[in-house]
Amino acid sequence: MKKIITVVGARPQFIKAATLSRQFQLLGIEEIIIHTGQHFDVNMSDVFFEEMEIPKLAYRLDIHGLTHGAMTGRMLEGIESILLKEKPDGVMVFGDTNSTLAGALAASKLHIPVIHVEAGLRSFNMEMPEEINRILTDRISNLLFCPTNAAVNNLLREGFETMPVKIIKNGDVMQDAAMYYAEKAEKKSDIIKQIALPKFVLATIHRQENTDSPKNLKNIIAGLNEINLQIPVVVPIHPRTRNILSQMNIVPEFKLIDPVGYFDMIMLLKSCELVITDSGGVQKEAFFFGKHCITLREQTEWVELVENGFNILVGSDVEKLQNAFRILNLKTSDFAIDLYGKGQAAEGAAREISLF
Work out the burial of residue 198: count CB atoms within 10 Å of its CB; fewer than 13 is exposed, 13-18 middle, 19 or more buried.
exposed
User: Please, are residues 112 and 134 in contact by the beta-carbon 8 Å criterion?
Assistant: no
Distance CA 215, CA 213 (A): 5
Strand runs labelled E in the chain: 3-8, 30-35, 59-60, 90-94, 114-117, 143-146, 166-169, 201-204, 233-236, 255-257, 274-277, 293-295, 311-313
Catalytic residue among 35, 64, 116, 206: 206
Distance CA 245, CA 99 (A): 29
Determine how β-strand 311-313 pairs with β-strand 255-257. Answer: unpaired
Task: Return the SS3 of 275.
Answer: strand
Distance CA 354, CA 328 (A): 43
Distance CA 305, CA 287 (A): 8
* E strand or H helix at 178: helix 173-188
| Known catalytic membership, residue 39 | no
> If you ran DSSP here, which 8-state letter would residue 160 be given?
G
| Angstrom distances, CA of residue 180 to CA of 12, 15, 204, 216, 342 | 15, 11, 23, 36, 11
Query: Catalytic positions, please?
Result: 206
